[in-house]
Amino acid sequence: MSSGYDPRVSRLWKLLRSPRLALGVLAFLAVYGGLAAWYPWQRPGGPRVPAWALALHLDRPFSSPVFLGAALLLFLSTAACTWDRTLRVAALFRGRVRPYGFQLPVRPGIDAAAFLAAQGFSRPRSGGACFRARAALWGGWVLHLGLLSLMAGVVAQQGWHDGGAFEIAEGESVRLAAPGTVFGRDRGPFAPSAPPDLGIGLLAFDPFLHQRGYAPDRASRIRVEPPGT
């Protein structure tokens, strides 16, 4: 009879929880990001992207499959660590302490409960655990959730972002999907291959907007028309 246990899953789980894996991926991302910032074609007016860089998707280094794959691997590693931390902190919060550390010797005449209470710990109930700032047990867990949210946002933004430029005069309308309308387009690998089929009309434009308390800016009022509306 099969128990349904797969040792490969256990090895994969241990690998994802490994600090060496997380540190290795972080080191790779740090080196990758440092090099990408110095690529000459990243500078405005820099040289054209060479063929070898195009083949490695380094023309947009932070949207490349390598960068997104490393960010996803770091996300999975952090998620595995977060799940393990969730179980451990939940057990500690309920007063279930794992049998690790060392045992203090018994000293006659010393009231450990009174000593802990004087240090700000709660008095144990029925021989249970003592706590001080019990809610602080979840501090590291909240930090891990924040890191997961940040990494998920990076993968989503770099994978699906879509931007570009188009020229339009006041009173004019254009369709973004028309050939040649959008130029300088920059999109992630999961974004649609063509610009959205939207009609854009520039109703008014103020190049000398001076709102009190703000730096000089520009104001536009546009009309957006989805297909069929």
Contacts of 49 (CB under 8 A, 6+ apart): 41, 58, 59
**Reduced to 3 states, what is the DSSP secondary structure of residue 148?**
helix
pLDDT at residue 169 in the model: 93
In this structure, what DSSP letter does residue 195 have?
Answer: -
**What torsion, rounded to 10 degrees, do the Cα atoms 7, 10, 15, 19 define?**
-140
**Reduced to 3 states, what is the DSSP secondary structure of residue 131?**
coil
Q: Which residues share a beta bridge with 209?
A: 217
| pLDDT higher than 50, residue 2 | no
Q: Are strands 183-187 and 217-225 parallel, antiparallel or unpaired?
A: unpaired
pLDDT tens for 186-208 read 888 889 989 999 999 999 999 88
Count Cα neighbours of 38 within 13 Å in the Cβ-side half-sphere: 5
C-alpha–C-alpha distance, residues 9 and 50, integer Å: 42
Q: Which has more confidence, 82 or 111? A: 82
Decide: 79 and 27 in contact? Cβ < 8 Å.
Answer: no
In this structure, what DSSP letter does residue 204 have?
Answer: E
pLDDT tens for 5-51 read 556 668 888 888 888 999 999 999 999 999 888 888 877 777 888 88
Tokens of 125: 């109930």
pLDDT at residue 126 in the model: 61
